Structure 1
Amino acid sequence: MKTIQPLKNGKLYHIYNRGINSDVIFNENSNYEYFLKLYDKHIDPIAETFAWCLMKNHFHFLVRIKDVEKITTEKKILPSQSFSNLFNAYTKAFNKSNHRHGPMFERPFKRKLIENESYFQNLITYIHNNPVHHNICEHPLEYPWSSYITCLSDKPTKIKRKEVLEMFTDVENFKNVHKQKRNYFAIETFLGI
């Protein structure tokens, strides 16, 4: 059996998962909104977010786990426990409103350590282009449940927008790189998707 690596402080991770048997985990706008509200509650205190995308049956987050002294939770809990708390709270609410029971997400949630800048940049475009890749829309600008629009906005955000845009040099290059047709097979193979 494969050993699950703990999330380490100061490290970048791609956090992703899907519904059991690829079942739907978001079936209406209020589900997406509630999941993001819970994400803010459980994950913002322990991680910085660079990119995210919520799809009907799966999700992607690109985060850096905060250094211990920057974690703002009242009790110091392990970062992986914060993610578990998010998934459990969402599952309880979804089950109650949809008259279902049992787990929703595959366990354990998937995580990949990001160790180089090139992969980090490619992962941002992969996450934002996930709805395009799955033929939901033709451009990430058309999809409301990702951080792509937030990266282009001037509105206040907790997303590490400045750092993301610097990774692409500037806003125009960010847009141009996202427009390029890419084969994400290598990323999906690496992720085991």
Structure 2
Amino acid sequence: MPRKAREKSQTGIYHIILRGINRQNIFEDDEDKDRLLQTLLRYREQCKYTIYAYCFMDNHFHLLLKEGQEPLEQIMRRINGSYVYWYNYKYERIGNLFQDRFKSEPVETDAYFLTVIRYIHQNSVKAGITKSTREYRWSSYNEYVGEGKLIDKDYVLKIFDEDYNVAIEKFIRFNNQWNDYECLEVEDKKKRLSDTELIEMIKKQFEVEAVKIQNKPKEEKEKILKKLLETEGVSTRQLSRVTGISVNSIWKL
């Protein structure tokens, strides 16, 4: 069955989501998130696109982006290819990192434009990672209230008010109002297991303490780890944390 054609935006602005293949993490640590940030900065100069908002979660990321000299597909091909090459080298892995092609929706009114910005900034709060948008380091929210590096915040703030200080106040109030609007979202969201839940599950399912998996014979150890990697709600870094087995060793499976 042929893929549905991507809906084009008359404004050139899109809300974009890209997630990890098989729901796996695409960021294992802050260095990974910083690498994507630097990649976006580098290609912004080359492709002349504009970014108005972003949020990097463990297994997906959001962008609010306006096309520049190149079409959206080419822009994302450059960004994704560069990041995946670096990520695979770092973690000694091969193959795809992202799930199929990226998802996008056109953003064509100021009202929805601002709604998407708020929606993106509230990702960490809705995921239970932080209690406020300002607490999360890996979104563009703090670029708006502080120093902007990647985003074009002047364009956005002028929608709120011509006076910069008044605009900032309005922006903060708007972004902290609860947003129940249904924007483009990651499908099939999974429940994250806590470390305690994972340790108990390992003990019950495999009759072994999590930290003792590394002492098992190689074949048995790999069998257990592969089964755990297929379990919904379990991340590679979390599995490394509770078993004491390095992330790279798990990736090599």
Q: Shorter-normalised TM-score: what interval?
A: 0.7 to 0.9
| 1:176 aligns to 2:169 (yes or no) | no
Which of the pair is proportionally richer in strand? 1
The 3 A distance-change label for structure 1 pair 156 and 51 is closer
The amino acid that maps onto 2:49 is A
- SS of 1:108's equivalent? coil
For 2:134, the equivalent position in structure 1 comes to: 141
Aligned length: 180
Output aligned runs, 1:91-170, within 5 Å.
91-153=84-146, 155=147, 157-169=149-161, 170=167
Query: Greater CA radius of gyration, 1 or 2?
Result: 2
Output aligned runs, 1:12-31, within 5 Å.
12-31=13-32
The match for 1:187 among 183, 186, 190 is 183
Q: For residues 106-142 of structure 1, give each alpha carbon's deviation from its aligned partner in whole angstroms, at most 9, with x where no partner exists.
A: 1211111111221111000000111111110011110
Q: For residues 24-58 of structure 1, give each alpha carbon's deviation from its aligned partner in whole angstroms, at most 9, with x where no partner exists.
A: 00111110111111111224433111111111110
**Is the contact between residue 8 and residue 65 of structure 1 (CA under 8 Å) also seen in structure 2?**
no
For 1:4, the equivalent position in structure 2 comes to: 5
Distance 2:61 2:7 in 1: 20
Distance 1:97 1:6 in 2: 35
Q: CA RMSD in A?
A: 2.0
Task: State the shift of 1:78 in Å.
Answer: 4.0
**Is the contact between residue 7 and residue 80 of structure 1 (CA under 8 Å) also seen in structure 2?**
no
Higher relative contact order (CA 8 A, sep 6+): 1
| 1:42 aligns to 2:43 (yes or no) | yes
Q: Specify every segment of 5 or more residues in structure 1 that has no aligned partner in the other structure, as ranges.
A: 72-76
Q: Specify every segment of 5 or more residues in structure 2 that has no aligned partner in the other structure, as ranges.
A: 162-166, 188-253
